[in-house]
């Protein structure tokens, strides 16, 4: 396995043990890439690097100066950036009518302003070296829907369109920009929800392939998008087993599934 041999990759959103960013980083390392893992929590990044390899870079993705510093430090450490993945996210579940201005601002800062400023920092670096691949982790919920997820889905959908816009303008410099959309996935971000009996079962019938996805599925999609043999740009890739052909469960479906599971447990 060496589909990314010689490539230098920056993965932000990798400061959670076993999260999607870390899973992508492990796969990229296995494919021969040099990897910088970034995020807010230094101790988690250091533990990852000690176990898997790569280098750790601290970053607060809601702060432009921190994003700029992360990109600059990665360039200095790895000698450049060929591949950049944004796997940060905040899976806020809050009814539309109850979502506060503070929550909206925080969501915007992380899920739209952050990706915008990340790409602003990356484009000059990639243009100078003659190209690169930028990968944004989006969500199936940016295309199909999910209740009480409004701030999340709106910013994810906005960033998908930003991906198209940046791809359109910087393709001539060899920079490809795409997003990849998981469906519901068992990750630290969804750990509270997945612990509820019956909850994840409610999602399965929305998947034509009969199971929901894993972080490993997304990492595999990222390898393809990152590799030079992928002649694709400005696209949103749905790596979720066909979920967008069907739907996520509604609130009542989930409540019924959880109630049934609770009843089974007695």
Partner 1 sequence: MAGRLDGKVAVILGASNPQSMGAATARRFVAEGAKVVLAARRKDAVAAIAEEVGAVAAACDITREDELAALAKLAVDTFGALDIAVNYAGLEVNGSVIDSSADDWRAACEVHLVGTALFIKQMALAMAQGGSIITASSLTALVQAPGLAAYAATKGGADVLMRVAANELGERGIRVNSIAPGFTQSAMTAGYFAVDAVKNAFLKEIPLGRFSTIEDIASAALWLASDEAFITGQVVDITAGQSLRRTPRADEFV
User: Could you list the residues that contact partner 1 (CB under 8 A)?
Assistant: 1, 164, 167-172, 174, 176, 207-210, 213-214, 217, 220-221, 224, 229-235, 237-242, 244-246
Provide the token pair at 93.
Answer: 């579940």
Put residue 148 in one of left, alpha, beta given phi > 0 → left and psi -120 to 50 → alpha: left
The angle subtended at Cα 147 by Cα 62 and Cα 109, nearest 5°, is 10
Helix (H, G, I), strand (E, B) or coil at 3: coil
Tell me if 190 sits within 8 A of 248, measured CB to CB: no
Cα radius of gyration rounded to whole Å, the chain: 18
Verify whether residue 152 is a known catalytic residue: yes
Q: Least distance to partner 1 from the beta carbon of 165, Å? A: 8
What is the distance, to the nearest Å, from the Cα of residue 180 to the centroid of all Cα atoms in its chain? Answer: 8
Tell me if 64 sits within 8 A of 116, measured CB to CB: no
- Which residues on adjacent β-strands are paired with residue 86? 12, 136
Q: Least distance to partner 1 from the beta carbon of 107, Å? A: 27
In 198-215, which positions are buried (b, 16+ CB within 10 angstroms) versus exposed (e)?
Answer: bbbebbeebbeeeebbeb
What is the distance, to the nearest Å, from the Cα of residue 218 to the centroid of all Cα atoms in its chain? Answer: 9
Q: Least distance to partner 1 from the beta carbon of 74, Å? A: 24
Which residue of the set 152, 173, 207, 212 is catalytic? Answer: 152
In 96-135, which positions are buried (b, 16+ CB within 10 angstroms) versus exposed (e)?
Answer: eeebeeeebeebbbbbbbbbbbbbebbbebbeebebbbbb
Which phi and psi angles does 200 have, rounded to 5°? -65, -30
* Cβ closest to partner 1, residue 40 vs residue 176: 176
Q: Least distance to partner 1 from the beta carbon of 150, Å? A: 25
Which residues are marked as active site? 152
């Amino acid at each position: 396995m060496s589909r990314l041999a010689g490539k230098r990759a920056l993965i932000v959103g990798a400061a959670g043990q076993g999260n999607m960013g870390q899973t992508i980083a492990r796969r990229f390392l296995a494919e021969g890439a040099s990897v910088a893992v970034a995020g807010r929590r230094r101790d988690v990044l250091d533990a990852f690097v000690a176990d898997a390899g790569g280098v750790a870079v601290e970053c607060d993705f809601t702060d432009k100066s921190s994003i700029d510093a992360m990109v600059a430090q990665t360039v200095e450490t790895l000698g450049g950036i060929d591949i950049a993945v944004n796997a940060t996210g905040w899976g806020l579940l809050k009814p539309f009518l109850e979502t506060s201005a503070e929550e909206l601002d925080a969501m915007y800062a992380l899920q739209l302003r952050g990706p915008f400023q990340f790409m602003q920092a990356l484009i000059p670096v990639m243009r100078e070296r003659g190209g690169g691949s930028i990968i944004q982790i989006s969500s199936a919920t940016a295309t199909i829907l999910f209740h009480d997820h409004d701030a999340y889905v709106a910013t994810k959908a906005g960033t998908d369109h930003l991906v198209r816009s940046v791809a359109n303008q910087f393709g001539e410099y060899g920079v490809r920009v795409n997003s990849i959309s998981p469906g519901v996935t068992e990750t630290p971000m969804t750990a509270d929800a997945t612990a509820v009996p019956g909850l994840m079962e409610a999602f399965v019938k929305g998947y034509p392939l009969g199971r929901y996805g894993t972080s490993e599925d997304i990492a595999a999609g990222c390898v393809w998008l990152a590799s030079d043999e992928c002649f694709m740009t400005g696209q949103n890739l749905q790596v979720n087993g066909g979920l967008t052909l069907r739907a996520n469960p509604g609130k009542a479906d989930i409540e019924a599934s959880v109630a049934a599971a609770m009843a089974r447990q007695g």
